[in-house]
Chains A and B, each alone.
Chain A
């Protein structure tokens, strides 16, 4: 029997705010345990939540960017369960009347465009963190860190429209890019600012009703999502083929062993006893407020891609790399627009793209620096590319200059001057080097003359070496060819 898998994703995203969702505690990552808590987020007797309005605005902006309907009237609910990382033993979330519903997200995979429905987007507060002193007899207990308690989250629930692990991964990465463009979240799966659970079922191809689903948790990277889903789909197929019945349950992905493990069955599932949160008033968002928010939505990646291709003629590859991260595309655009007048930008677009996507991005990634924080500013990079364009330095020398700029922050011009790296375009000097090289490399010279075009490479390299890399490669090439096509001297 041939099966089709059906996947829906529940994505939790930390909304970027200075303070928590219901109190004034900071949301900064990595503080001393329990240094960012107050009576409100620690669930002390008598405290009350006060909504951070920014989270409403950020969720509404996200909803607009995902073509979702923003409800003008929305309410909070208490989701009840006992766990030590949840100080009130209920989580303030949304159940009935979430802030947004019915959106969509499209992506292209293997040349095909897929549009995935978004069921709902709602607000909730994060729980704390438990630190287990595993195996330590002296510390035979579990410690609770509430710094993360009350950090604002939005949960984006997709429709079961995804069909393969690759699609799920692509949906997730498209969503991440979109959220980064909106600047609503860092969406870092490793740091936990983006988390993903999946509902997976299989059915015989052609069947329209849904099979029994399993919920997969504990997938901490894009790779984990793909691996866990592939494994789970295979597990369900094998089970059905062996005549077993799939049971509704929650399963945990064990990345080390590469398997999903049953955590609890439907019968053991929590009854969360949701009911409307009486300590908070309903959220009202009128049409005018929504219109104001709509104006704050920046150009989205797909629009940007079209513009880069259109306006600057960049390749699909360059466009994709540049627009993956809004911070990188911002860097790219600033380099281009700050250094060249608009009529010259099309000509500079490709070389600048090359520098940004290779040398710059390589250095940024190696040192885990966001493009916005690059020690090498867009204006400085623009100057470097201009020096190459003007023939002042060769591309090869430029790499050395780039390294120097990265570490010292000095301007390209100053480095070139101080180190005497100006390109040699003096034809007389190059001709002298060429003569010396030809006489020293008779074998290569002969081969070229006999028709082996590739033999010239070694000669060009030798001339460049003699010039300490400063000779203009085009001139070297031209002069060598002229000399070799005339009689040997």
Chain B
């Protein structure tokens, strides 16, 4: 086999006894041995557990027992999802020693589908960042150019899939943390509708925005993995109880009559000309496939970043309060009393971006400021949602660039939080409105870096988004393997 096989391909072969799960795993482990030291996408690799899992799958296949839809597929997990018995660090010193006592719902579902977990991937600390440089432990590199960032916050997962160190990966997306690294690394990344995938076991950053989704080699695999992880979970009150459609069946390959909207507000100054050219070229491809394209307006787009940086830190300031050194995680050895234990444990345990956001959020929720910041931001969030509601009366999907530029160089923006925040300018609104959003490769820059296009759909209409993306993918050839050296 080749490591460029899709998850679908691997599972089909394992099920049909044409290939053993152990052989598949072995190919990926060998590739990890070779390239992981260079890419640094994993915080921990779970070779031994994976070997056991692969062997058990093979034994069941041999006995003629049924195996799941992801049988033998090596999959990597962002290190903010709990896997029982494994460290779940969120790339933070404060959780450096934390071992999760339970499986996240997505992990349980992957296990039931017979996916093979190969490790936990690097990320920006607590998913706060756009370059994975905010990890407390290591720097992950972009497989297309190891001097560049892989994007973030799910940079480890994106890089692992792009470098074929795993057949697929899970990431989480609060303001673009799946789609932006997918664009940077030239893979497919899907953020599902808020409420479609259970958040139980995902370490919370901003609860009203967080969603788990897949990184895959192609669109078909994104549909396959979404099929496994989607659906109501009684352990997550915000997960929606409605039947899960058959996503892989929705990939008809036809976009005839599909109405695509191009929002004016996403083609503006600051957008890299190469990115703009590639995205507009993709629009012509869609037209040639029978889709109709029209300009639309999402007038409140310009407030999205500002609103996001009030709401997400507000929720984060409460969500991260539990890391206090009392029950688990880092506890300062220098404290002389309770207050110092809180202060020093958190001071020593959190990185600077996390502290910045905790302070932002604490400020926005403080007495006397709540109305002017949090409440106002909630109102604008509603306006952003309404923009989409009315746009989706005219069109079926909205097409935009995923990020304003291709992957930038390591260190280029790490000293300037505001510049870093603008990396998510095109992905944040999608989270505000809770919509499904997908990024896929649509070209390369002159420097050879992948460029991503984003497709957004109506809530719970992943089928439409996936089918549009699949049709485009069939008509183009942007799914490519980086040359590692």
Q: Which residues of A contact B (CB under 8 A)?
A: 39, 42-51, 78, 80, 82, 84, 87-90, 144, 271, 273-275, 278-281
User: Cβ of A42 and Cβ of B237 under 8 Å apart?
Assistant: no
A-contact bits for B319-331, CB 8 A (1 contact / 0 none): 0011110111000
Residue B389 lies at the interface, judged by CB distance under 8 Å to chain A: no
Residue B204 lies at the interface, judged by CB distance under 8 Å to chain A: yes
User: Cβ of A50 and Cβ of B204 under 8 Å apart?
Assistant: no
Residue B374 lies at the interface, judged by CB distance under 8 Å to chain A: yes
Q: Given A82-B342, A275-B374, A279-B207, do A45 and B322 touch, yes or no (CB 8 Å)?
A: yes
A-contact bits for B359-396, CB 8 A (1 contact / 0 none): 00010011100100010000000000000000000000
User: Cβ of A275 and Cβ of B81 under 8 Å apart?
Assistant: no
Q: How far is the CA of A415 from the CA of B314 in the complex (A)?
A: 73
**Interface residues of chain B: helix, strand, loop or mixed (majority):** loop
User: Cβ of B102 and Cβ of A39 under 8 Å apart?
Assistant: yes
Residue B203 lies at the interface, judged by CB distance under 8 Å to chain A: yes
User: Cβ of A45 and Cβ of B82 under 8 Å apart?
Assistant: yes
User: Cβ of A82 and Cβ of B321 under 8 Å apart?
Assistant: yes
Give every chain B residue within 8 A of A50 (Cβ-Cβ).
Answer: 234-237
Give every chain B residue within 8 A of A87 (Cβ-Cβ).
Answer: 322, 326-327
Give every chain B residue within 8 A of A90 (Cβ-Cβ).
Answer: 318, 321
Closest-by-CB residue of B relative to A88 is B322
Q: Which of A44, A84, A279 is within 8 Å of B237, CB to CB?
A: A279
Q: How far is the CA of A49 from the CA of B204 in the complex (A)?
A: 12
User: Cβ of A51 and Cβ of B237 under 8 Å apart?
Assistant: yes
User: Cβ of B199 and Cβ of A48 under 8 Å apart?
Assistant: yes
User: Cβ of B208 and Cβ of A278 under 8 Å apart?
Assistant: yes
Task: Please tell me which stretch of B3-11, B93-101, B148-156 contacts chain A, meaning at least 4 of its Cβ atoms lie within 8 angstroms of it.
Answer: B93-101
Q: Given A48-B235, A49-B237, do A42 and B204 touch, yes or no (CB 8 Å)?
A: no
Q: Which residues of B contact A (CB under 8 A)?
A: 80-82, 88, 90, 95, 98, 100-102, 104, 199-204, 206-208, 234-238, 314-315, 317-318, 321-324, 326-328, 338, 342, 362, 365-367, 370, 374
User: Cβ of A273 and Cβ of B362 under 8 Å apart?
Assistant: yes
User: Cβ of B88 and Cβ of A45 under 8 Å apart?
Assistant: yes
User: Cβ of A271 and Cβ of B367 under 8 Å apart?
Assistant: yes
Q: How far is the CA of A279 from the CA of B238 in the complex (A)?
A: 6
Give every chain A residue within 8 A of B317 (Cβ-Cβ).
Answer: 273
Q: Given A90-B321, A273-B365, A275-B374, do A46 and B201 touch, yes or no (CB 8 Å)?
A: yes
Closest-by-CB residue of A relative to B361 is A273
Query: Which A-B residue pairs are the 8 nearest by beta carbons?
Result: A89-B321, A278-B207, A273-B365, A278-B208, A45-B203, A46-B201, A271-B367, A46-B203
User: Cβ of A45 and Cβ of B326 under 8 Å apart?
Assistant: no
Q: Distance in Å from the Cβ of B298 to the closest Cβ of chain A?
A: 24
Q: How far is the CA of A82 from the CA of B362 in the complex (A)?
A: 13
Give every chain B residue within 8 A of A78 (Cβ-Cβ).
Answer: 318
Q: How far is the CA of A453 from the CA of B123 in the complex (A)?
A: 101
User: Cβ of B327 and Cβ of A45 under 8 Å apart?
Assistant: no
Give every chain A residue within 8 A of B342 (Cβ-Cβ).
Answer: 82
Interface contacts beyond A46-B82, A78-B318: sample of 16 additional A-B pairs, CB < 8 Å, sorted by A: A44-B327, A44-B328, A45-B88, A45-B90, A45-B95, A45-B98, A45-B322, A47-B200, A47-B201, A82-B321, A82-B342, A88-B322, A89-B321, A89-B322, A90-B318, A144-B326
Q: How far is the CA of A42 from the CA of B314 in the complex (A)?
A: 22
> Taking each of A82, A88, A278, A280, which has the highest tally of chain B beta carbons within 10 Å of its own beta carbon?
A278
Q: Distance in Å from the Cβ of A54 to the closest Cβ of chain B?
A: 16
5 contacts between A and B (CB under 8 A): A46-B104, A48-B236, A87-B327, A273-B362, A279-B207
Give every chain A residue within 8 A of B100 (Cβ-Cβ).
Answer: 44-46
Q: Given A46-B82, A280-B237, do A271 and B366 touch, yes or no (CB 8 Å)?
A: yes
Q: How far is the CA of A90 from the CA of B322 in the complex (A)?
A: 8
User: Cβ of B200 and Cβ of A46 under 8 Å apart?
Assistant: yes
Give every chain B residue within 8 A of A84 (Cβ-Cβ).
Answer: 324, 326, 338
Q: How far is the CA of A43 from the CA of B325 in the complex (A)?
A: 12
User: Cβ of A46 and Cβ of B237 under 8 Å apart?
Assistant: no
> Taking each of B206, B207, B321, B367, which has the highest tally of chain A beta carbons within 10 Å of its own beta carbon?
B321
Closest-by-CB residue of B relative to A84 is B326
Give every chain A residue within 8 A of B208 (Cβ-Cβ).
Answer: 278
Q: How far is the CA of A189 from the CA of B374 in the complex (A)?
A: 39
Give every chain B residue within 8 A of A44 (Cβ-Cβ).
Answer: 100-102, 327-328
> Taking each of A42, A80, A87, A275, which has the highest tally of chain B beta carbons within 10 Å of its own beta carbon?
A275
Give every chain A residue within 8 A of B328 (Cβ-Cβ).
Answer: 44-45
Q: Given A88-B321, A89-B322, A281-B237, do A46 and B204 touch, yes or no (CB 8 Å)?
A: yes
Q: Given A82-B342, A278-B208, A278-B315, do A46 and B202 touch, yes or no (CB 8 Å)?
A: yes
Q: Given A43-B322, A278-B208, A278-B315, do A48 and B200 touch, yes or no (CB 8 Å)?
A: yes
User: Cβ of B314 and Cβ of A275 under 8 Å apart?
Assistant: yes
Q: How far is the CA of A47 from the CA of B88 in the complex (A)?
A: 13
Q: Distance in Å from the Cβ of B158 to the closest Cβ of chain A?
A: 21
Q: How far is the CA of A89 from the CA of B90 in the complex (A)?
A: 19
Q: Distance in Å from the Cβ of B433 to the closest Cβ of chain A?
A: 15
Q: Distance in Å from the Cβ of B86 to the closest Cβ of chain A?
A: 13
Give every chain B residue within 8 A of A80 (Cβ-Cβ).
Answer: 318, 321, 365
Q: Distance in Å from the Cβ of A377 to the closest Cβ of chain B?
A: 42
> Taking each of B204, B315, B317, B326, which has the highest tally of chain A beta carbons within 10 Å of its own beta carbon?
B326
Q: How far is the CA of A271 from the CA of B322 in the complex (A)?
A: 17
User: Cβ of A39 and Cβ of B101 under 8 Å apart?
Assistant: yes
Q: How far is the CA of A271 from the CA of B363 in the complex (A)?
A: 11
Give every chain A residue within 8 A of B338 (Cβ-Cβ).
Answer: 84
Give every chain A residue within 8 A of B101 (Cβ-Cβ).
Answer: 39, 44
Q: Given A48-B199, A89-B324, A280-B237, do A275 and B204 touch, yes or no (CB 8 Å)?
A: no
User: Cβ of A48 and Cβ of B326 under 8 Å apart?
Assistant: no
Q: How far is the CA of A173 from the CA of B419 in the complex (A)?
A: 62
Q: How far is the CA of A39 from the CA of B324 in the complex (A)?
A: 16
Q: How far is the CA of A39 from the CA of B81 in the complex (A)?
A: 14
Q: How far is the CA of A21 from the CA of B199 in the complex (A)?
A: 19
Give every chain A residue within 8 A of B326 (Cβ-Cβ).
Answer: 84, 87, 144
Q: How far is the CA of A274 from the CA of B362 in the complex (A)?
A: 11
User: Cβ of B318 and Cβ of A275 under 8 Å apart?
Assistant: yes
Q: Distance in Å from the Cβ of B93 to the closest Cβ of chain A?
A: 14
Q: Distance in Å from the Cβ of A76 to the closest Cβ of chain B?
A: 10
Q: How far is the CA of A384 from the CA of B98 in the complex (A)?
A: 66
Q: How far is the CA of A51 from the CA of B236 in the complex (A)?
A: 10
Q: How far is the CA of A273 from the CA of B367 in the complex (A)?
A: 7
User: Cβ of B90 and Cβ of A43 under 8 Å apart?
Assistant: no
Q: Given A50-B235, A51-B237, do A42 and B203 touch, yes or no (CB 8 Å)?
A: no
Q: How far is the CA of A280 from the CA of B314 in the complex (A)?
A: 16
Q: Given A278-B207, A278-B208, do A46 and B318 touch, yes or no (CB 8 Å)?
A: no
Give every chain A residue within 8 A of B204 (Cβ-Cβ).
Answer: 45-46, 279
Closest-by-CB residue of A relative to B338 is A84
Q: Given A46-B203, A46-B204, A87-B327, do A273 and B366 touch, yes or no (CB 8 Å)?
A: yes
Give every chain B residue within 8 A of A281 (Cβ-Cβ).
Answer: 237-238
Give every chain B residue within 8 A of A278 (Cβ-Cβ).
Answer: 206-208, 238, 315
Q: Which of B81, B315, B327, B367 is within 8 Å of A46, CB to CB?
A: B81
Closest-by-CB residue of B relative to A78 is B318
Q: Distance in Å from the Cβ of B96 to the closest Cβ of chain A?
A: 13
Q: How far is the CA of A280 from the CA of B239 in the complex (A)?
A: 10
Closest-by-CB residue of A relative to B324 is A89
Closest-by-CB residue of A relative to B198 is A48
User: Cβ of B365 and Cβ of A275 under 8 Å apart?
Assistant: yes
Q: Distance in Å from the Cβ of B261 to the closest Cβ of chain A?
A: 29
Give every chain A residue within 8 A of B207 (Cβ-Cβ).
Answer: 278-279
Q: How far is the CA of A44 from the CA of B366 in the complex (A)?
A: 25
Q: How far is the CA of A454 from the CA of B235 in the complex (A)?
A: 79
Closest-by-CB residue of A relative to B378 is A276
Give every chain B residue within 8 A of A279 (Cβ-Cβ).
Answer: 204, 207, 237-238
Give every chain A residue within 8 A of B238 (Cβ-Cβ).
Answer: 48, 278-281
Give every chain B residue within 8 A of A51 (Cβ-Cβ).
Answer: 237
Closest-by-CB residue of B relative to A279 is B207
Q: How far is the CA of A29 from the CA of B324 in the complex (A)?
A: 27
Give every chain B residue within 8 A of A280 (Cβ-Cβ).
Answer: 237-238
Q: How far is the CA of A49 from the CA of B328 in the complex (A)?
A: 19
